Structure formats: structure tokens, C-alpha cells
Amino acid sequence: QQTVAAIEEADVIFFMIDARAGVTPLDQTFGSLLRKSNRQVHLVANKAEGRASEAGILDAYSLGLGEPIPLSAEHGTGIGNLYNILYDADEKMSEIESEDDKQFQPEINVDVEPDAEIVPRWNPNRFLNVAIVGRPNAGKSTLINRLVGEERVLTGPEAGITRDSIMVPWEYEGRTINLVDTAGIRKRARVQKKLEKLAVADALRSIQYAEVVVLMLDATQPFEKQDLHLADLVEREGRALVIALNKWDLIKDKNETLIKLREACERLLPQLRGVPLITLSGLKGKNIPNLMKAIFEIEKNWNIRLPTSKVNQFLNAMVQAHTPPAVSGRRLKLRYMTQIKSRPPTFILFCSRPDALPTAYTRYLTNGMREHFNMVGTPIRLWVRAGDNPYHEKNKRKLG
């Protein structure tokens, strides 16, 4: 089944046979599939060195896939022919792919009219890029296969069996979702093979490519150092985050364990206070609807656009509850705050002395916004600048 799925998704197919062994019944089965595939198929006869391969190469014509390309992977002969085929195919596909890629590009750092009181709504029908990341064997590929109802990506007990990122378009409740399954992120000390290093880099790029990231944790071994590193990376990249506790069916005392995990999450990830924590079993398909509900909810929070009046009402209430500390005997004045971007929500705060405003106070404001405006689990950007309301004069000119 995975071979059939791979054929359907491929642009170029190299069908390799053993020239010394000749055409086997299994080769004939695959050959029949490929003849019906309407794909660019190239028949490759490996182990073609020496006279022992001549009969097998001639036999390969019986597959009906054209002239076989002889090569020896062991000795490196004939590899150049494969490069030439791929180069030509890439030339033809590059223009098509450049257009196709536009539909998968994440929409991030969207400008917001600072003084607008009528806030435009985000489009809930637009496709959504969701990256599924985590340590090896956390159950990422199993979850995708459960979601789409097909064996689309390799799964198995061997940690790191998915070596690169795989984009799987999927429809859920009428909406297109591009699921990205990434290679597991290993601890750097354990990443030795070049292939695994490339896979890790690909997974990190997938976070940048996504809008919502599902961090898969093994519920039996949660919040290891590498899990926290990934969560921090998602926050720094400004993406919305949902934490999925997989293999929940293996947990005995579920209520007590969940309470402890929520406490650990708040303690270890204070920059993502309130991030959704969803328990599930990818293997058994349990609690999948709750995961999807959390994904859509966190995306909505990530897209939030707040009127300036509400932002400043919030600011005034926060200042009255806890005034900024005086520095060198001088009080800090927080004058004005407005949202300038969404995806993630980004705000600018104008005050008398930005450099003197403590980091603890800006954290107090961002945590307050997250709670007051129900932006739990959403990264919030707050830039502090000197000055008064820069839009005050603009509004006066408009009125005039």
C-alpha cells in the first residue's frame, strides 16, 4: 500500500532490478503497477558489471518499461545517467513547483492597522499548515496515518524511521490541512550519521513552514530536555503550539498524572503559559477530535486582532493594579499600546524610558494579555519604544 501511495505522489520513479538475478515475479508485479501509473518511470539494472549481468539486462526489456539503464552502485558506474535524468526533470518541474508552493506558504507577521477599531476577521476557510514534531518514536507518523486513514508514512518500533519531512494534504470538516510529519529530533550528541543531521535540519525548517505546531510527547517519558528545546524553538519562531501527550493508554493513574504534567508544563514553559495539553493515543485513535479542536482554537488565538481601545483599557487596568517600578527615583510612564501585527500577535508599547522598563514587567504585561484576551499558548511579541502616541497627530490631521 505504501508503494502504491509513493507511486501516486512521485514525479520521477527509478525502478531498480538486480541484473544478475534477472526479472523476478515481484519485479513483474511492480512493473505492472508502474506501466499503469502514468508517471515518468526509468528502469535501472543494478549490478550490471561483468558478463553475469547481460542476460538479466536483456530480460528487463520484458517489463515493458523501455531500455534499462545499466549501473553498478557498488563501483559508482552509471550514476551520472541518473543525475542527468533528475536534472532534466527538475528543470521541467521547477516552474510548476514554484506556483504550487505558494499555496503552502504560511501566512505570518500580518500587518494590522494600528488605530483601526473595526478589526478584519481572519479567514477560517484558508488552508492550515500543521507540523507534527517530537523526539524519535513519539508516535508522529502513527498519528498522521490515523488522521488521514491511510498508511502514508513509515511507522515502526525503530526510533527515527521517518527520515525526512513528508507533506500530507488532508481534509477535516471541510477544511484543507497540510500535515507535516518530520524526522524525530534526537539529542545532538546522538546525531552521528549525516542522514540524521539532514533530517533534524528538515524538521526545524518544518516548524518555520508551519502555522500551528503539534509537539508530540511520549506520555511515559514527557518533558525531556529535547522536548523543552523544541517548545522553546516554536515560541521563538512565533508559531502556535499544541502539546500532544501520546501513548496515554499506557498511563495507569491518568488523573493524577495529568495534574502533575500540567504543573510541570507551567513550570518548565513559563513563556507559553496555558498551552493546550491534549492526551491521546495515536495507535488507537483516542481523543483525536479534541486534538483537532485544540488546533483550531489555538490558530484562532494566534490570528487575534484587537482594537486599540481595548488594548489600552487593558494597559490602564494593568498599570493601576501594579505600577511600573521607579528607576533612579523617576517614575516610568506607560503612555500607549497598540497591536501592529498578527500571526503571532505583536504589540508596541510607548513609554518614557524603554531601556529602564524591567523585563519582569514586560512579562507581567504579556502574561496578562494572554489571560485577559484568552490567548493561551500563543507566543506574544511586545516591543517597547520611546515616545507618546505616534498616531495622535495622524488622527488630528484626519479630523481636520
Q: Report pLDDT digits (tens) over 187-201.
A: 444 444 544 455 456
The percent of residues above 70 in pLDDT, for the chain, comes to 77
Task: Tell whether the model's pLDDT for residue 323 goes beyond 80.
Answer: yes
Region 379-384: what's the mean pLDDT? 92
For residues 266 and 210, what is the distance between their CA atoms, to the nearest angstrom? 24
**CATH architecture entry for 123-302:** 3-Layer(aba) Sandwich (3.40)
The DSSP line for 54-83 is HHHHHHHGGGSS-S-EE-BTTTTBTHHHHH
Q: Report pLDDT digits (tens) over 45-84.
A: 999 888 888 888 888 898 888 889 999 888 888 888 888 8
How many CB atoms lie under 10 A from the CB of residue 106? 17
Burial degree of 242 (CB within 10 A; 0-12, 13-18, 19+): buried
Task: Tell whether the model's pLDDT for residue 253 goes beyond 50.
Answer: yes
CA 163 to each of CA 25, 28, 265: distance values in angstroms, whole numbers, following the listed order: 30, 29, 28
pTM > 0.75:
no
Instruction: Return the SS3 of 282.
Output: coil
Q: Report pLDDT digits (tens) over 274-318.
A: 899 999 998 888 899 999 999 999 998 898 899 999 999 999 999
Q: Hey, where are the domains in the chain?
A: 2-102, 123-302, 308-399
CATH number of 2-102: 3.40.50.300
Residue 9 has a pLDDT of: 74
For residues 77 and 217, what is the distance between their CA atoms, to the nearest angstrom? 45
At 400, is the pLDDT very low, low, confident or very high (cuts 50, 70, 90)?
very low
Average pLDDT of the chain, as a whole number: 80
At 105, is the pLDDT very low, low, confident or very high (cuts 50, 70, 90)?
low
Question: Is 308-399 the same fold as 2-102?
Answer: no
Q: Report pLDDT digits (tens) over 344-376.
A: 999 999 998 888 899 999 999 999 999 899 888
At 242, is the pLDDT very low, low, confident or very high (cuts 50, 70, 90)?
very high
At 36, is the pLDDT very low, low, confident or very high (cuts 50, 70, 90)?
confident
CATH homologous superfamily of 308-399: K homology (KH) domain (3.30.300.20)
